[in-house]
């Protein structure tokens, strides 16, 4: 490039420092949000993968059983009859470390002698005699455990110290630390952090599962004949591969992560408008210069690259800063994301943020790509107007006004295209459609501005007089600049509206659902706190004991377990819920109910099942396709689905089966939770008191009132959306910067005009008012337009995205609050962004301002 | 412009630097860690175990079975076999039992036990000069490993086992397989159990209790198949079985031992051994046994024989230097001493995979008599005390 042109660029950037800064900031924020979310997602995913591989090790296959487990004798047969030396028994359970902040630990029960091919923690191969002797002690001493050095350091635990645990069956059991697992690297350190490695005998003793294994890990040679194993599998056991299981589990969070990614793109979309705005300004402002350059013989190419290179330089700086900020921001988002995954899906501990190069490459591509894309139109535009034309300001604005019909037409095409795309049932395409609709709506901004200014002129005239007439016209006259700023603000505010309405509707739906579902007065479940919840097997005798408490009218129990559905190997295992009483008192709401006379409880008693809506959605269950196959202790059994009910406990869905049917097919006497109905006239608080001070002592169970349980559910619900709320805020900040940048530029451009106004007798105060009316009008336009756009966004989120991501139907709840709030945000942002320009313009003396010409 | 480029470069350096710092460590793979077991060695307390003090009252076949009141026990099978064309092989099949505590703990878990088992299986292919070794560990629980005489004598670790084919356990079968080699052998006992030491009480030092109960089945006619890398050989020959149980047999000064089980072509067998002390001396309490063709035995005091190494072999695996080749001179009570020249059939018969490194190999006997046998050399890599 010509050195003169380079100098020109340099001069321009250094003269417009603030604008350049805002440009960089826009890119930085957009990239940072995207990268932060990407990092959080990939860190969570990686932590999950690690925690899986830390316990599956190098297994190629696994034999898994039903909730009651696999008989140990199967392992003996595999070792002795099949002679499979690369096999290892595993008990995989969870416990809560009572004294370690209630932290939940993963109990991994293993046979050290079988471990070497699978996991490297304990390998009797090539170890010293001292280690072997230590290994013997680990095997023969009951309740000895190995923990990671990280966990030991965190709680200052030395070998020989004890840890009190609450396990699936024992309210309290103590294990002694026999040694520490010293990880080879940071990666293993993370994976091992919550591991409690015990001998398999200890594992059986403390989890109360004598005679059974959770699974058998295998390393099978390529040519191994799988039927040899399948031939000796007892009913309920299945041969699977860890990769399948990991994929299925990882897939659980797939939709959740995609939603976050899409939301982070929304911030970038807003940023995109901002960049476009800034570049347009730099072009528009230099139209005379460009005109002169062109007149002096500078080629179109040179001018085009002049503008493009400016953008690229700022874009690169913004992108790099964005990557840096994203990495920092990622440390915060990863906590939010992993909290949500813990609440909704499975336990995963994300201790540190992994930074995959691909995340950074993606972030950089998005940032630089967005800058280029935004700069392309203005650059082209600047170079394709005849030199004389570029020197004329008014000509450009007239041209912009003439373009409005076309822009509006394009807007309608975008919206129509988006709506058409929504018809295709794909989550990714649905998001693409959502973006098309949003961009379309943003393109409606110029038209909306013209209309609003026209409508509001009488009003502002009435209030502010001459200034009130001038301001709307000023806005319209600079529509090429104000339009984009307002579009950015509109987008940001409509995201606020859309996401708020969606969350509000969802929350209301869940609240209503809780009202019908939580029919009992008191719920008894294992101690749960934020840091950990472990599935617990409650002795059914406890339930019968509770029946004897005076004032307790009815005791109902529910068993929930995960079972394998062989027909869907690529989906996670099925959550099976088996209540013995309908606590909803036939109040369950159904999407469809094929039970005779709608008597679903009767159908359940007869052996049918009902499934929740997400379950049906994921497996395409309908009135026609109404059977599911489950792997039971009696082998594979087929069940008829009598209906699909609304349920919001998990986005993986549930299968509901009557407890009596469950016990017929599964050798599992335990229950998972107990509910109590209190006799009429008895105060539930009194019963709660009795339970806490007497009946539940030493059981490791806690009682909660209906109200407390409901509040807990809603607390978790709200926590789940904290990341969404944070993203919404980020979009607003981006929009705020956008409108500030636009107004700053406007003000700069209008310096001369303001000089003339001042020279003609306008007071600084009036000039301030004039600026603020303009920005207020812009904010009003954005706020007004954002309301319908936000509603459309909410509808798409509720009716399309949520259904396709999670399979949940929710009722649209319209409250005025999110709309009022959003409008207020738009107006406040616009007015706040106008303050500085207003102050600056009023400070200039008329002479100074005119001199700037 | 230049300034901007500099700023951009600085930011880029910061980003890349941050990336490098935060992202150190490998990208993927299986988490690896090594347990650092710090528990005291469980074998410290021997007080509850029975010790070998008095001569033992032997009852067979029951005494082929386990003796859990003793801490340590082993069943040691070695043999020299050949195909009909004279291709020679040696094999070793050993099961070790070690109790961590005297009494089993009460538990619902079928995995809970105080008995741990280890097994070694080797094949020496003399023609190819190869030595195949494998080892296994298991606990004596969940049906995975154990020893019993109910209903018949059987010692097993998973699918490696020796099992009686008749109630008296005069005929037994051995099955073992590794990824490289396999044996399926049937053994027939030709002589009554030869009780070592004083009626089976074999002292390892002059301290009372530093002894084991020990008998040998010194000649077991053996036939069956032996498979190496998929090639199966039909073989026959003779095996030697040692069964020994004790609690802390070795004295504190013991460094290791050299043991020989020699089967002479004149149908006599000879067990000689020496316990080497740390001060380079030989433990005088430990002797040997000469078994006549009719099964009668002649105990040998340590002064009745001498074992003189004639060469050495340094292991390329462990660096340990073992004697290789001996001249063994025995005063059998006859007019002249019996002089035997013992030569390893293959130099490298060192077991290196286990926690205990030792040399256990087939040997050829020449000199005043001919035959084959097995030699066991321990404590050359490190001291043997407090081990199996």
- pLDDT, tens digit (0-9, with 9 covering 90-100), for A528-570: 544 344 566 788 888 888 888 888 888 999 898 888 888 887 7
Instruction: Flag if B31 and A323 touch (Cβ within 8 Å).
Output: no
Place of tokens 């009036």: A766
Q: Which residues pair with B297 in a beta bridge?
A: B291
- Mean pLDDT check: name the lowest of A344-348, A410-414, B31-35: B31-35
Burial of B238 (0-12, 13-18, 19+ CB in 10 A): buried
Instruction: Flag if A360 and B15 touch (Cβ within 8 Å).
Output: yes
Query: What is the domain partition of chain A in residue ranges?
Result: 1-56+249-385, 61-240, 447-518+718-853, 528-699
d(CA A792, CA A268): 20
Residue B129, chain A, CB below 8 Å: the answer is no
Burial code (b: 16+ CB inside 10 Å, e: under 16) for A690-724 equals bbeeebbeebbbbbbebeebbeebeeebebbbebb
Residue B108, chain A, CB below 8 Å: the answer is yes
Nearest to B31 among A144, A192, A353 (CB): A192
The minimum CA-CA distance between A133 and chain B, rounded to whole Å, is 5
| pLDDT value of residue A131 | 58
φ/ψ of B46, rounded to 5, equals -105, 0
Torsion of Cα atoms, B297 then B302 then B308 then B309, to 10°: 90
| pLDDT value of residue B359 | 95
DSSP conformation letters of B59-128 = -TTGGGS--TTSSEEEEEEEEEEE-TT--EEEEEEEEEEEESSSSPPP-S-TT--SEEEEEEEEEEETTT
Residue A358, chain B, CB below 8 Å: the answer is no
Residue B4, chain A, CB below 8 Å: the answer is yes
Q: What is the arithmetic mean of pLDDT over B248-272?
A: 89
Residue B44, chain A, CB below 8 Å: the answer is no
Residue B85, chain A, CB below 8 Å: the answer is no
Q: Which of A79-88, A535-544, B21-30, B361-370 has the highest mean pLDDT?
A: B361-370
| pLDDT value of residue B343 | 97
Instruction: Flag if A79 and B34 touch (Cβ within 8 Å).
Output: no
| pLDDT value of residue B12 | 52
Beta carbons of A206 and A95 less than 8 angstroms apart: yes
- pLDDT, tens digit (0-9, with 9 covering 90-100), for B200-234: 999 888 888 889 999 999 999 999 999 999 999 99
Q: Residue A745 above 90 pLDDT?
A: no
Residue A465 DSSP SS3: coil
Beta carbons of B325 and B308 less than 8 angstroms apart: no
pLDDT tier at B174 (50, 70, 90 boundaries)? very high
d(CA A445, CA A493): 13
Q: Which of A147-161, A421-435, A793-807, B291-305 has the highest mean pLDDT?
A: B291-305
| pLDDT value of residue A387 | 59
Beta carbons of B342 and B375 less than 8 angstroms apart: yes
| pLDDT value of residue A133 | 64
From residue A173, give the alpha-carbon distance in Å to each of A107, A203, A542, A630, A659: 13, 11, 19, 34, 30
Specify the pTM: 0.72
Nearby residues of A402 by Cβ (< 8 Å), 6 or more positions away: none
Instruction: Flag if B31 and A191 touch (Cβ within 8 Å).
Output: yes
Nearest chain B residue to A321, by CA: B11
- pLDDT, tens digit (0-9, with 9 covering 90-100), for A560-589: 888 888 888 778 788 899 999 888 887 888
Secondary structure letter of residue A103 according to DSSP = E
Higher pLDDT, A850 or A523: A523
φ/ψ of A117, rounded to 5, equals -70, -15
Computed over every residue of chain B, the mean pLDDT equals 86
The minimum CA-CA distance between A670 and chain B, rounded to whole Å, is 18
- H runs (alpha helix) in A286-299: 287-295
Nearest to A140 among B12, B24, B42 (CB): B42
pLDDT tier at A228 (50, 70, 90 boundaries)? very high
Higher pLDDT, A627 or A850: A627
To the nearest 10 degrees (0 to 180), the angle between helices A254-285 and A242-252 is 50
Instruction: Flag if B110 and A210 touch (Cβ within 8 Å).
Output: yes
Q: B56-61 long-range CB contacts below 8 Å, 24 or more apart?
A: B56/B199, B56/B200, B56/B201, B56/B213, B58/B193, B58/B195, B58/B199, B58/B200, B58/B215, B60/B168, B60/B169, B60/B193, B61/B149, B61/B152, B61/B153, B61/B164, B61/B167, B61/B168, B61/B169
Instruction: Flag if B39 and A6 touch (Cβ within 8 Å).
Output: no
Burial code (b: 16+ CB inside 10 Å, e: under 16) for A748-772 equals bebbeebbebbeeebebebbbbbbb
Residue A144, chain B, CB below 8 Å: the answer is yes
Q: Which of A145, A195, A207, A203 is nearest to A170 (CA)?
A: A207
Instruction: Flag if A137 and B31 touch (Cβ within 8 Å).
Output: no
Q: Which of A57-66, A739-748, B297-306 has the highest mean pLDDT?
A: B297-306
- In this prediction the ipTM stands at 0.84
Q: What is the arithmetic mean of pLDDT over B31-40?
A: 43
How many inter-chain contacts (A to B, CB under 8 Å) are there? Answer: 215
Nearby residues of A606 by Cβ (< 8 Å), 6 or more positions away: none
Q: Residue B89 above 90 pLDDT?
A: yes
| pLDDT value of residue A689 | 85
Q: Which of A773, A788, A816, A826 is nearest to A456 (CA)?
A: A773
Place of tokens 């909290």: A339
Nearby residues of B280 by Cβ (< 8 Å), 6 or more positions away: none
| Selected residue of A40, A137, A359, A361 to mutate for chain B interface (largest B Cβ count, 10 A) | A137
Q: Which of A773-782, A791-800, B224-233 has the highest mean pLDDT?
A: B224-233
Q: Residue A721 above 90 pLDDT?
A: no
| pLDDT value of residue B30 | 44
Q: Residue B151 above 60 pLDDT?
A: yes
Residue B336 DSSP SS3: coil
- Write out the two tokens for B225: 């198949």
pLDDT tier at A392 (50, 70, 90 boundaries)? low
Instruction: Flag if A204 and B15 touch (Cβ within 8 Å).
Output: no
d(CA A93, CA A195): 10
Q: What is the arithmetic mean of pLDDT over A384-391?
A: 58
Higher pLDDT, A95 or A285: A95
d(CA A426, CA A433): 10
Put simply, the chain B residues between 329 and 358 with a CB less than 8 A from any chain A CB are 353, 355-356
- Write out the two tokens for A456: 């509001």
What domains are there in chain B, each with its CATH number? 62-378 (2.40.370.10)
| pLDDT value of residue B324 | 94
Q: Which of A308, A483, A442 is nearest to A731 (CA)?
A: A442
Place of tokens 């140990």: A72
Instruction: Flag if B111 and A125 touch (Cβ within 8 Å).
Output: no
pLDDT tier at B242 (50, 70, 90 boundaries)? very high
Q: How far is CA A608 from the centre of its chain?
A: 35
Beta carbons of A317 and B5 less than 8 angstroms apart: no
| pLDDT value of residue A770 | 85
Q: What percent of chain A has pLDDT over 90?
A: 11
Q: Which of A305, A284, A282, A302 is nearest to A294 (CA)?
A: A302
| Selected residue of B8, B28, B32, B155 to mutate for chain A interface (largest A Cβ count, 10 A) | B32
- Tell me whether strands A103-110 and A195-199 are parallel, antiparallel or unpaired: parallel
Q: What percent of chain B has pLDDT over 70?
A: 86
Q: Which helix (H) or strand (E) holds A500?
A: helix A479-517
DSSP conformation letters of A125-158 = TT--HHHHHHHHHHHHSTTEEEEEHHHHHHTTPP
- pLDDT, tens digit (0-9, with 9 covering 90-100), for A362-377: 888 878 887 787 777 7
Residue A192, chain B, CB below 8 Å: the answer is yes
Nearby residues of B335 by Cβ (< 8 Å), 6 or more positions away: none
**Chain A environment of B27 (Cβ under 8 Å):** 356
- pLDDT, tens digit (0-9, with 9 covering 90-100), for A13-58: 666 677 777 778 777 877 887 788 778 777 777 777 776 776 677 8
- pLDDT, tens digit (0-9, with 9 covering 90-100), for A79-120: 999 989 899 999 988 888 888 877 778 898 999 888 878 877
- Write out the two tokens for A614: 């997400």
| pLDDT value of residue A393 | 56
Residue A185, chain B, CB below 8 Å: the answer is yes
Nearby residues of A509 by Cβ (< 8 Å), 6 or more positions away: A648, A808, A809, A810, A811, A813
- Write out the two tokens for A398: 């007239």
Q: Which of A318, A231, A320, A306 is nearest to A274 (CA)?
A: A318
- Write out the two tokens for B215: 């008998």
- Write out the two tokens for B320: 């340990």
Torsion of Cα atoms, A16 then A19 then A22 then A23, to 10°: -90
């Amino acid at each position: 490039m010509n050195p003169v042109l380079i100098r020109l660029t340099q001069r321009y950037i250094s003269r417009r420092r603030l604008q350049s800064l805002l440009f960089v900031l826009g890119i930085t924020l957009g990239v940072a949000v995207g990268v932060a979310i990407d990092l959080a997602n990939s860190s969570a995913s990686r932590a999950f993968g690690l925690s899986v591989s830390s316990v599956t090790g190098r297994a190629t296959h696994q034999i898994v059983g039903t909730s009651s487990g696999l008989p140990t004798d199967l392992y003996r047969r595999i070792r002795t009859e099949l002679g499979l030396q690369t096999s290892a028994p595993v008990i995989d359970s969870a416990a809560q470390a009572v004294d370690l902040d209630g932290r939940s630990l993963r109990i991994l029960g293993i046979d050290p002698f079988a471990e070497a091919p699978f996991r490297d923690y304990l390998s009797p191969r090539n170890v010293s005699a001292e280690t072997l002797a230590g290994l013997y002690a680990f095997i023969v001493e009951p309740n000895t455990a190995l923990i990671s050095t990280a966990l030991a350091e965190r709680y200052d635990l030395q070998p020989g110290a004890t840890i009190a645990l609450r396990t699936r069956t024992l309210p309290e059991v103590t294990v002694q630390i026999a040694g520490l697992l010293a990880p080879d690297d940071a990666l293993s350190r993370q994976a091992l952090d919550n591991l409690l490695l015990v001998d398999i005998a200890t594992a059986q003793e403390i989890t109360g599962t004598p005679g059974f294994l959770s699974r058998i890990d295998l390393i099978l040679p390529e040519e191994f004949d799988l039927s040899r194993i399948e031939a000796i599998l007892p009913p309920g056991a299945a041969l699977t591969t860890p990769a399948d299981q990991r994929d299925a589990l990882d897939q659980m969070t797939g939709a959740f992560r995609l939603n976050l990614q899409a939301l982070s793109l929304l911030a970038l979309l807003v940023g995109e408008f901002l960049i476009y705005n800034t570049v347009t300004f730099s072009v528009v402002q230099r139209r005379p210069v460009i005109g002169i350059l062109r007149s002096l013989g500078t080629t179109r190419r040179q001018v085009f690259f002049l503008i493009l290179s400016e953008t690229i330089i700022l874009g690169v700086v913004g992108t790099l800063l964005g990557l840096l900020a994203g990495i920092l921001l990622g440390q915060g988002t990863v906590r939010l994301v992993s909290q949500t995954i813990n609440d909704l899906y499975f336990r995963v501990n994300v201790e540190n943020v992994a930074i995959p190069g691909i995340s950074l490459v993606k972030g950089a591509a998005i940032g630089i790509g967005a800058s280029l894309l935004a700069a392309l139109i203005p650059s082209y535009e600047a170079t394709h107007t005849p030199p004389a034309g570029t020197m004329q300001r008014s000509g450009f604005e007239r041209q912009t006004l003439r373009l409005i019909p076309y822009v509006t037409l394009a807007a309608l095409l975008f919206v129509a295209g988006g709506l058409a795309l929504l018809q295709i049932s794909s989550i990714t395409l649905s998001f693409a459609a959502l973006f098309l609709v949003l961009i379309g709506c943003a393109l409606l901004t110029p038209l909306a501005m013209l209309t609003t200014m026209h409508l509001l002129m009488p009003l502002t005239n009435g209030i502010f007089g001459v200034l009130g007439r001038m301001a709307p016209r000023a806005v319209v006259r600079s529509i090429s600049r104000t339009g984009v700023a307002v579009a950015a603000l509109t987008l940001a505010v409509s995201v606020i509206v859309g996401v708020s309405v969606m969350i509000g509707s969802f929350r209301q739906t869940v609240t209503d659902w809780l009202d019908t579902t939580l029919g009992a007065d008191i719920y008894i479940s294992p101690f749960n706190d934020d840091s950990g919840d472990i599935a617990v097997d409650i002795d059914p005798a406890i339930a019968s004991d509770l029946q004897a408490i005076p004032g307790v009218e009815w005791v109902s129990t529910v068993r929930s377990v995960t079972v394998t559905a062989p027909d869907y190997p690529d989906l996670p295992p099925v959550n099976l819920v088996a209540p013995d009483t309908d606590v909803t008192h036939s109040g369950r709401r159904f999407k469809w109910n094929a039970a005779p006379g709608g008597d679903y409880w009767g159908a359940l008693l007869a052996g049918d099942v009902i499934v929740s809506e997400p379950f049906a959605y994921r497996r395409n269950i309908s009135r026609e396709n109404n059977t599911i196959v489950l792997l039971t202790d009696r082998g594979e059994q087929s069940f008829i689905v009598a209906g699909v009910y609304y349920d919001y406990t998990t986005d993986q869905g549930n299968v509901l089966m009557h407890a009596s049917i469950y016990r017929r097919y599964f050798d599992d006497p335990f229950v998972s939770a107990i509910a109590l109905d209190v006799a009429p006239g008895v105060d539930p608080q009194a019963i709660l008191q009795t339970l806490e001070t007497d009946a539940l002592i030493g059981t490791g169970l806690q009682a909660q009132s209906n109200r407390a349980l409901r509040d807990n559910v809603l607390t978790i619900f709200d926590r789940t959306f904290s990341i969404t709320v944070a993203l919404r805020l980020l979009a607003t900040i981006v929009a705020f910067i956008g409108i500030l940048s636009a107004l700053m530029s406007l003000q700069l451009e209008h310096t001369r005009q303001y000089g003339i106004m001042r020279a003609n007798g306008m007071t600084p105060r009036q000039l301030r008012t004039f600026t603020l009316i303009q920005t207020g009008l812009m904010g009003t336009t954005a706020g007004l337009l954002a309301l319908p756009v936000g509603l459309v966004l909410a509808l798409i989120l509720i009716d399309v995205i949520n259904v396709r991501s999670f399979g949940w139907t929710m009722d649209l709840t319209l409250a005025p609050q999110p709309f009022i709030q959003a409008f207020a945000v738009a107006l406040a942002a616009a007015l706040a962004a106008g303050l500085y320009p207003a102050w600056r313009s009023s400070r200039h003396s008329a002479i100074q301002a005119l001199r700037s010409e | 412009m230049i300034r901007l480029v500099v700023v951009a470069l600085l930011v880029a350096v910061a980003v890349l630097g941050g990336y490098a710092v935060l992202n150190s460590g490998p990208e993927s793979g299986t988490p690896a860690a090594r347990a650092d077991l710090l528990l005291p060695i469980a074998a410290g307390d021997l007080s509850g175990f029975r010790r070998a003090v008095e001569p033992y009252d032997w009852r067979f076949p029951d005494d082929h079975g386990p003796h859990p009141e003793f801490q340590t026990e082993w069943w040691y099978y070695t043999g020299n076999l050949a195909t009909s064309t004279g291709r020679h092989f040696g094999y070793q099949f050993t099961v070790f039992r070690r109790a961590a505590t005297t009494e089993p703990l009460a538990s619902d878990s079928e995995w809970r036990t105080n008995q741990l088992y280890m097994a070694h299986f080797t094949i020496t292919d003399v023609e190819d000069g190869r030595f195949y070794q494998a080892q296994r560990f298991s606990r004596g629980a969940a049906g995975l490993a154990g020893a019993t005489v109910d209903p018949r004598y059987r010692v097993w670790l998973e699918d490696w086992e020796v099992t009686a084919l008749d109630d008296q356990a005069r005929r037994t079968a051995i099955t073992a397989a590794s990824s490289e080699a396999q044996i399926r052998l049937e053994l027939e006992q030709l002589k009554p159990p030869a009780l070592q030491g004083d009626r089976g009480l074999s002292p390892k030092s002059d301290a009372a209790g530093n002894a084991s109960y020990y008998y040998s089945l010194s000649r077991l006619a053996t036939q069956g198949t032996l498979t190496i890398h998929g090639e199966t050989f039909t073989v026959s020959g003779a095996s030697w079985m040692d069964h020994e149980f004790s609690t802390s047999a070795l004295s504190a000064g013991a460094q290791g031992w050299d043991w020989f089980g020699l089967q002479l072509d004149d149908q006599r067998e000879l067990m000689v051994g020496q316990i080497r002390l740390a001060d380079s001396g030989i433990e005088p309490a430990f002797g040997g046994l000469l078994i006549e063709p009719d099964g009668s035995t002649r105990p040998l005091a340590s002064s009745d024989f001498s074992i003189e190494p004639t060469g050495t072999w340094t292991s390329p695996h462990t660096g340990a230097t073992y004697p290789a080749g001996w001249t063994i001179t025995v005063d059998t009570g006859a007019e002249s001493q019996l002089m035997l020249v013992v030569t390893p059939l293959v130099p490298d018969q060192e077991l290196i995979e286990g926690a205990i490194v030792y040399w256990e190999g087939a040997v050829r006997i020449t000199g005043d008599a001919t035959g084959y046998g097995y030699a066991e050399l321990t404590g050359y890599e490190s001291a043997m005390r407090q081990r199996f």
